[in-house]
Amino acid sequence: MSSPEEVLATVRQAMSSGDLETAEVTLKDARKRWKREPEFAVRHANVLVKQGKHAQALKVYRKVMKKAPERLDACIGAAECAIQTGKGRLAEKLYSRGIGLGLSLDDATLGIARSLVIRSQHHLAWEKAIVQFKSSGNKSRGLHELLKEISPQTGISVPTLDQFDTAIIDDNIEGIRRDTVDPRLAENTFTAGSLEAMAGVDRATLVETGDLLSDDLLAVRSSGGTSLGIDLSALQEATETPTLDVAEATSEIQNSDAEGVVDIDLSTGPDIDISTGPDKSESDDLFDDWPDI
């Protein structure tokens, strides 16, 4: 193989078909040919891990760390192989080194605690794991699983895992989306100049994604509920509103008004002397009684 691209393509094809032997041999030859390129060595070690050859993979990872000490993937791979081969002290050193390369505290603490567990130091592993688990807000699943694993040896109850931010959401939403096109929108063109295009609506958003809600959201079905699950059966029993006769209502109003009116017979009433009233001929001028100057 003349180029690294051909090597990677051959390895990718072998890995996809499950041929780990071909992938391991190809990467081993490429690692010897391009000694200054650590990528082939890291990939070779990864294949060795999948084959269960953790001791050989550990040697390859450590050689990569000498040539490229900044490779975090090589450091993590070497630490995991050290755990698998029972080298707890080496794994603890490698996980501690990984913190300086960008490894998260949760993952580093989990690895260090496991390195202590394989050395039968369960109480020390519990102390390190519980401190980091509580400092992260009880949200680390890996630390929580480790605490449950070593809880029988320590005799300490495991705190509750906070699953508010760590809940696993199913990414398979194929059953939610609809394959058939809505018949109400099948005739729409969605081309430039159409009403849909001027409204900013495209076919992918309006037609191909999700189910559309019914136009009759409050339409009462035979069961008494709506498409939204609202029970409107009580509203179906409409009360009969009594109709008032306009003529009857008018006569009642007139009778009620007539009861409060008192008829006065002016012919039998007292005589009123109109002449005793004020003289209307007098002037209304306020300065008439002032002396003339």
Tell if the pTM clears 0.85, that is, is over it: no
Looking at residue 87, which CATH number applies to its domain?
1.25.40.10
At 177-186, the pLDDT tens digits run: 455 555 555 5
- Cβ–Cβ under 8 Å, residues 92 and 104: no
Q: Number of structural domains, the chain? A: 2
Q: Is the pLDDT of residue 18 over 80?
A: yes
Together in a domain, 187 and 65 = no
Indicate the residue among 154, 185, 200 that finishes a domain. 154
Same domain for 62 and 195?
no
Tell whether 115 and 71 lie within a shared domain.
yes
Kindly state whether residue 18 falls inside one of the protein's structural domains: yes
Position 213 confidence tier, pLDDT thresholds 50, 70, 90: very low
Same-domain status, 114 and 24: yes
Q: Is the pLDDT assigned to residue 133 strictly greater than 60?
A: yes
Residue 229 lies in a domain: no
**Which pLDDT score, from 0 to 100, does residue 239 have?**
47
Task: Encode pLDDT of 145-190 as tens digits.
Answer: 999 999 999 999 999 998 776 555 555 555 544 555 555 555 566 6
- Residue 142 lies inside a defined structural domain of this protein: yes
Whether 85 maps to a domain, the answer reads yes
Same domain, residue pair 52 and 136: yes
Same domain, 181 and 143: no
**Residues comprising the chain, all counted:** 293
For residues 207 and 182, the answer to whether their CB atoms sit within 8 Å is yes
The sign of the dihedral angle between the CA atoms of 20, 22, 23, 27 is positive
Give domain status of residue 147, yes or no.
yes
On whether both 49 and 191 belong to a single domain, the answer is no
Q: Is 231 helix (H, G, I), strand (E, B) or coil?
A: strand
Angle subtended at Cα 18 by Cα 31 and Cα 73, rounded to the nearest 5 degrees: 45
Inside any domain, residue 103: yes
Measured between alpha carbons, how far is 5 from 264 in angstroms, rounded to an integer? 121
- Spatial distance between the Cα atoms of 131 and 124, rounded to a whole number of angstroms: 11
Q: Tell me if 228 is assigned to some domain.
A: no
Same domain for 203 and 86, yes or no, is: no
Query: Which pairs from 161-168 meet CB under 8 Å and 24+ separation?
Result: 162/137, 162/138, 165/139, 166/139, 166/141
Average pLDDT over residues 56-82: 94
82 and 27 share one domain: yes
Residues 140, 8 share a domain: yes
Range of the domain at 58: 4-154
- Fill in the DSSP letter of residue 225: B
Residue 185 sits in the same domain as residue 140: no
Q: Which pLDDT value is given to residue 220?
A: 59
Q: What is the mean pLDDT of residues 209-235?
A: 57
Radius of gyration of the chain (CA): 47
Residues 24 and 102 reside in one and the same domain: yes
- Does the residue 236 lie in any domain? no
